Amino acid sequence: MISQLKSMFGLGPKIDFKLAMQNGAQIIDVRTKAEYQSGHIKGSLNIPLNNLSNHYAKLDKNKTIITCCASGIRSAQAQNILQANGFKEVYNGGGWYGLQEKLK
């Protein structure tokens, strides 16, 4: 429970998101299709949270994954779901717009 709260509020393990991207990390945006179409990080993959379990096969379990959404709550849920299903390095990037700023 504590680790989930820390993750939800961005208090989990620190990661240099820009460096992770340079090393091949994949950004998974878990917002709805409509939200994603209104703006997103270039190169991110849109997999809405409620469809995440249908897309495990598309993702590399050994690749670093950064989740993002509008505020960080759904991305924290996605992080926990992916980790519970064998994905090794998954980080909550929080809100997509803030994450985009960190990648500049």
CB 45 within 8 A of CB 26: yes
Distance CA 31, CA 22 (A): 24
Give the pairing type, strands 90-95 and 65-69.
Answer: parallel
pTM of this prediction?
0.87
**pLDDT band at residue 87 under the 50/70/90 scheme:** very high
pLDDT at residue 11 is higher than 90: no
Residue range 2-102 forms a domain whose CATH class is alpha beta
Please report the pLDDT score of residue 38 as a whole number: 96
In the chain, where are the structural domains located?
Answer: 2-102
Distance CA 100, CA 22 (A): 14
**pLDDT tens digits along 20-45:** 999 999 999 999 999 999 999 999 99
